[in-house]
Every structure is written in C-alpha cells, then in structure tokens.
Amino acid sequence: MRVLVVEDARSLAALLAEGLRDQGMAVDVAHDGLEAAARLDLNAYDVVMLDRDLPGIHGDTLCHMITERDERPMVLMLTAAGTPEDRVTGLTLGADDYLAKPFHFPELILRIRSLARRRPSARARTLRAAGIELDPIRRTATRDSRHLDLSLKEFAVLEALLRAYPAFLSTEDLLEQVWDEHADPFTNTVTVTVSRLRRKLGDPPIIATSPGIGYRIINS
C-alpha cells in the first residue's frame, strides 16, 4: 500500500511517515498543496492523508482536485478542524473519511487500511492464488494452511504479486508499490527481498522470474 501524507507541520509529518512505514506501508510526504499535487501527478497512491489548512494549494481545493481524477486515491482528512460542521464540509468536498487531531494512532491505521479496501480498484479482502491465502487487514499469510512468518517488506511484496496475479510486476512496479520515493532504484533491494520471500514460501517455487520483465505468481 502506498500513502501520501500531506501535512505542513514537518515534525508531525515525519512522525506519521515513520509510524506508517513501521506498519509496512510505502509513504511519501508533501508539506504543501503544490508539492502534493506534483506528487499525485507522478505516483499512484492508495490513500492520501490530507490536512485542510495547507499553504500553496488549500486542502479543500486539493481534495476537490483529487476527486476529479479517473483513478483516484481515497482521501482521509486529518485536521485540527474537528467540529461536526467541519466534518460535514470535508465529506461534502469528496473526502472519504475525516479524523480530527489529536487522534489515536491505532485508529488511524485501521481507517487507512479500511479506505484502501474500499477503493474501487481494490480486490477481495483475502487474496488467494497458488495455495497462498493473504489477509491484508489481519496481516496474515499462509501457504497450504502453513503460517508464513514474513517481514513487513516480504509481506508487502507478496501482497503486490497476489494483487497482480497472474500478471508480471517489474522491479520498478515493486519499488513503487512497496517502497517509496527514497528507495534507490539501482540497488538490489527487490531481488534480495524476493529471494528471502521465496525461501520462506518453500517448495515447489511459486514466484517466477522473467529477465527484463519481472516477477509473478505461478501455480505450482
């Protein structure tokens, strides 16, 4: 899952990004509306966490711009303006959810995952292929009923491959979906993570590699 945090308070933005990454999400940060609009043009996001009172482009205007997109992310307004009237206004602008500051971080995580699941392009809650069952909400994965003890990035790579099944995902696709803009495209991060994931999945192998194309799940 890839999330864009749009928050002009830099210390809060950094804390949010760190907390979401600890939950296995790929996170980019924008500190004003103009920077956020530029990132939205460059990257595909599942969820945008949007402060309302932003410099550059106001959060209300940015929310309206997002809702006009064909393949739009879900929008969670996260703002100090928390009266019932503020909530109604935010939802009227097209936000999919509204959470007032201060907030309880576990609730924020649940709301983000719920929004990603509600996204029109999202698939069924439990992903299944080649004997694998993966639940993105409960963060569980099994192969032939055997529990898989996966790291956050291994889990995220497996989730991305299952969502794409039976199509290929390139290294660049995985970097975009599982990591974030700070990932170095010239490292072997993806190769190493896929290699560890293969070992944990066991035999027979179900992740195929096609040089120059990428990776995909196959039926064993």
121-159 confidence digits (pLDDT tens): 655 578 899 999 999 878 899 999 999 999 999 999 999
Count Cβ atoms within 10 A of the Cβ of residue 136 and give its class: 0-12 exposed, 13-18 middle, 19 or more buried. buried
pLDDT confidence of residue 42 = 86
pLDDT confidence of residue 203 = 93
Domains of the chain, each with CATH number or no CATH: 2-118 (3.40.50.2300), 127-217 (1.10.10.10)
Alpha-carbon gap, residue 79 to 192, rounded angstroms: 39
pLDDT confidence of residue 109 = 93
Mean pLDDT of 9-16: 95
Question: Higher-confidence residue: 191 or 102?
Answer: 191
Give yes or no for residue 30 having a pLDDT over 90: yes
Alpha-carbon gap, residue 135 to 16, rounded angstroms: 24
Alpha-carbon gap, residue 165 to 32, rounded angstroms: 36
Mean pLDDT of 34-60: 92
User: pTM of the entire structure?
Assistant: 0.67
